[in-house]
Structure 1
Amino acid sequence: MDPDYKAKYAIHEATREGQVSLVESLLNANPKLALLKDPDERLAIHWAVAYNRLPIFELLVAVKDFDPDATDASGWTPLMMAASLRDSEGDAMIEMLLRKDGDPNMKSVTGQNALHFATSKGNLSTVKILLGAKCSARAVDSRGQLPLHRAAATGSVPIMKVLLDEGKSPLNTADVDGMTPLHHAVSEGHAEAAVLLLRLGADAGKRDKGGKLAIEMAPDSKVRKYILQAAEREGIRLP
């Protein structure tokens, strides 16, 4: 590490450590420190979000020329990071960033928008906030995956319902491996999520690039049996 790192990037260090008074003092002396990028191309605000330092975050967003869409080396904005916090802890920060005209549809270098991150962490309230801000549920990342693929893979039925209802997410989109959300739900053993997708019209006849139907990817006989019986009860015909 650069021996002068701590001195040069004092505001980043103070932010990570949650030193509110020191950050405030540094900004009062030189507000432009809020616009300084460290070797990871991160501003202090990126670290404030990553470490869930809300009081420091509030100081930084108030700085003149604050850019809510500043990206780090991975193309992550503060809003993306806030969407990735556990248990929807970033919701307050997301709402502040949106009030500062942050763009919820910006994509990381791997093509993910904030909804991809929120669905991966199972943050239902965050998903609702983002959809309310017109964050697209139809955006695909570099692997061809929608936020719905992520929700299906984690088995989050409430998030899947919101993405399909409020977000108007496509139901049968295949990713680069030819896997639909149904494939992901079944392969991860999320039987209830799979049944929801089937109930809403998921195409059970689609095959992935390896030629497999979703039902053939069930991790065990218990999951497979649950899906088959539920489909039979609801009059859903499976191939």
Structure 2
Amino acid sequence: MSLSALPIEIICMIVERIPTQAGVKAFMLSHRRVSNLPLVRECLYNRTGKSRLSENLLWACEKDDKNLACAMLALGADIKCSSKDQVFTPLTIAAAECNAEIVKLLLEHDTSIINGAGGCGDTALKQAIFRGHIEIVKTLLAQSNLDPSAANPHPSRTMQDPFYRLKPLNEALARGNEEMVRMLMEDSRFKLDHNSLAAAADGGNESLVKLCLQKAPPTPQYFDESPVALAAFRGNEAVVKLLLEDGGLDPNEENKYHRTPLHLAAAGGHDNIAKLLLDRYDVEPDVKDLSNITPLSDAARYGHVGVLKLLLGSGKTNPNARDSMNRTPLSHAAERGHSEAASLLLATGLVDADSKDHMDRTPLSWAAENGVPDTVRVLLQTGRVNPESKDKEEGRTPLSYAAGSSHYLNSFNGAKRRDDAQECRDIYNLLQGRTDLVSPPDVQARQRGTYGWLAKCDPVDIIEQLLEYDGVNPDAQDKQGQTPLMLAAQRRQVEAVRLLMATGKVNPELRDNDGWTPRIHAEQGFKPRKLTQAELDERAWDAWEAAL
């Protein structure tokens, strides 16, 4: 008689005598007829190691497996545990996934977990509101110990979750969910606060904005965020008009960073909002924020040509305005590779094409590092830039920055490139002048196979342009003694090395301050340098802009 033909009772007795969980799993897989028997599953769960109980509970809460969740809780799983990434607890992940039965099970087991948040995550209520799970919200509101003000104070959340959205009611307003807002406001525990109007403006629901204008406390000056600025950034013209006309808000209202609605409209590229603010409300077009950034700089930085034309056309903006890092709108446009924006600024005849920032970096230097050849071409064609200009921090020229750029087309995932060993061999041969042993130019590696901004990048093209320019020293050393050839070798960029060697003006045996030659740099590869505080601050600002 085969094992599968035995009575269920005997099979269960056999399973009870299997000592390990792995053994029970193997038995269940080989005899699927019994895999769903309660006793067999109980045997499986009972053999779970203590270290896996909480992990299994989290999995059950995410996948809506109530039987497994019950078993893990009965075996002593920590109901307040956090996921490996410290974002979710069992309750918050069940709420996020809209697993209503699991949410009820967990609350029946321990109601004190209702206000908890895992690590840098949100409470269950915030998760349910964010995902729009009405039934989960109803279940949570039915708990008398629910704290309506519970919010995770973890500092890293502020970049992902702006201050004005930390409370559950404001999250619902920011989602523009009228049903959710109505349900929360029917509960006396939830009140509108100083941030509510900003949240509603962010959500873009006109009915909710009107509600907050009528019932929410006014937003103080220089508060976390300006409601008008948020609506302007989202490009919601109807809400902007509602706030200014019905709400009587100030069109020049600043947030705590002293950024105005015009700043945010420019950063978001909403020329209709910018035109409304400039024409109807006569806002100050050249206002500066805490970093001395003007709306014109914002438009140039993000390449929003429509807004740029409006601001330049007003005749009231300074196209050479410098921010706290001494950078101009042209410097920002060049760094991001916005060639059309750069051309517009240069066409005014008022812009210094070779302006230096606080590190003595020029627009050409920024454009060369970030690998956008069209912008480099626009700057070189002015005849008013110095291609040999060095910055004071590292002593690097635009050619040096282009050679060491991280934006080579074959550096990105999905791009075709040779293996490292072949690239190193080709570089060694080029350095020794043995061009006959070098692989032919890798044309495919320079094809535009990426998307968005990266599709415009090609440092090899920039190197070609700079080498054609009279007076460029292809062997200029920076403060570390490194040359463009060394930097290209670090990146293992065969085509860049080929171009530099073809000039006949570079020394392949030259050593840097550490005694390294280009060959050693090719062997060792690229070692990322430590970012300066200014660069860290700028990345933090970009993250904040993205969070809005």
> TM-score, length-normalised on structure 2?
0.36
- State how 1:163-182 maps to structure 2 within 5 Å: 163-166=311-314, 168-182=316-330
**1:95-145 Cα distance to aligned partner (Å, 9 max, x none):** 111113210112111111111111111111111111121222211111110
Q: CA distance change for structure 1 residues 96 and 152 in 2, over 3 Å: closer, same or farther? A: same
**Corresponding residue for residue 177 of structure 2:** 18
Match of 1:109 among 256, 274, 277: 256
**Corresponding residue for residue 147 of structure 2:** 4
Letter matched to residue 301 of structure 2:
A
> What CA distance in whole angstroms lies between the structure 2 residues aligned with 1:167 and 1:83?
22
Tell me if the contact between 1:178 and 1:208 (Cα under 8 Å) persists in the aligned partners.
Answer: yes
> What CA distance in whole angstroms lies between the structure 2 residues aligned with 1:21 and 1:213?
51
> Does residue 1:93 correspond to 2:239, yes or no?
yes
Match of 2:352 among 203, 207, 215: 203
Letter matched to residue 93 of structure 1:
V
Letter matched to residue 203 of structure 2:
Y
User: How far off is 1:17 after superposition?
Assistant: 5.8
Q: Which moved more, 1:207-216 or 1:176-185?
A: 207-216
Q: CA distance change for structure 1 residues 224 and 11 in 2, over 3 Å: closer, same or farther? A: closer
> Does residue 1:52 correspond to 2:204, yes or no?
yes
**Corresponding residue for residue 186 of structure 1:** 334
Tell me if the contact between 1:54 and 1:93 (Cα under 8 Å) persists in the aligned partners.
Answer: yes
**Corresponding residue for residue 42 of structure 1:** 195
Please state whether the residue corresponding to 1:176 is helix, strand or coil.
coil
User: How far off is 1:215 after superposition?
Assistant: 2.1
In the alignment of these two chains, the number of paired residues is: 219
Letter matched to residue 366 of structure 2:
M
**Corresponding residue for residue 292 of structure 2:** 144
Tell me if the contact between 1:42 and 1:72 (Cα under 8 Å) persists in the aligned partners.
Answer: no
> What CA distance in whole angstroms lies between the structure 2 residues aligned with 1:49 and 1:65?
12
Match of 1:126 among 269, 273, 277: 273
**Corresponding residue for residue 212 of structure 1:** 361
User: How far off is 1:214 after superposition?
Assistant: 1.7
> What CA distance in whole angstroms lies between the structure 2 residues aligned with 1:146 and 1:14?
32
Letter matched to residue 108 of structure 1:
N
Tell me if the contact between 1:75 and 1:107 (Cα under 8 Å) persists in the aligned partners.
Answer: no
> What CA distance in whole angstroms lies between the structure 1 residues aligned with 2:185 and 2:195?
17
Q: CA distance change for structure 1 residues 151 and 174 in 2, over 3 Å: closer, same or farther? A: same
Tell me if the contact between 2:285 and 2:316 (Cα under 8 Å) persists in the aligned partners.
Answer: yes
Q: CA distance change for structure 1 residues 145 and 4 in 2, over 3 Å: closer, same or farther? A: same
**Corresponding residue for residue 161 of structure 1:** 309
Match of 1:75 among 199, 224, 228: 224
Q: CA distance change for structure 1 residues 238 and 5 in 2, over 3 Å: closer, same or farther? A: same
Letter matched to residue 4 of structure 1:
D
> What CA distance in whole angstroms lies between the structure 1 residues aligned with 2:356 and 2:345?
16
Tell me if the contact between 2:176 and 2:204 (Cα under 8 Å) persists in the aligned partners.
Answer: no
> What CA distance in whole angstroms lies between the structure 2 residues aligned with 1:10 and 1:75?
17
> What CA distance in whole angstroms lies between the structure 2 residues aligned with 1:168 and 1:11?
41
User: How far off is 1:82 after superposition?
Assistant: 0.6
User: How far off is 1:14 after superposition?
Assistant: 5.6
User: How far off is 1:216 after superposition?
Assistant: 2.5
User: How far off is 1:75 after superposition?
Assistant: 3.0
Q: CA distance change for structure 1 residues 190 and 52 in 2, over 3 Å: closer, same or farther? A: same
User: How far off is 1:13 after superposition?
Assistant: 6.3
Letter matched to residue 137 of structure 1:
P
Please state whether the residue corresponding to 1:136 is helix, strand or coil.
coil
Tell me if the contact between 1:105 and 1:113 (Cα under 8 Å) persists in the aligned partners.
Answer: yes
**1:42-85 Cα distance to aligned partner (Å, 9 max, x none):** 12x32222222222223333x27974xx1499531211111121
Please state whether the residue corresponding to 1:112 is helix, strand or coil.
coil
Work out which of the two has the higher radius of gyration on C-alpha atoms and give 1 or 2: 2
**Corresponding residue for residue 480 of structure 2:** none
Please state whether the residue corresponding to 1:142 is helix, strand or coil.
coil
**1:160-184 Cα distance to aligned partner (Å, 9 max, x none):** 1111222611111111111100111
Letter matched to residue 261 of structure 2:
A
- Structure 2: which 5+ runs fail to align? 1-114, 117-145, 150-166, 387-548
Letter matched to residue 209 of structure 1:
H
Tell me if the contact between 1:155 and 1:185 (Cα under 8 Å) persists in the aligned partners.
Answer: yes
User: How far off is 1:24 after superposition?
Assistant: 10
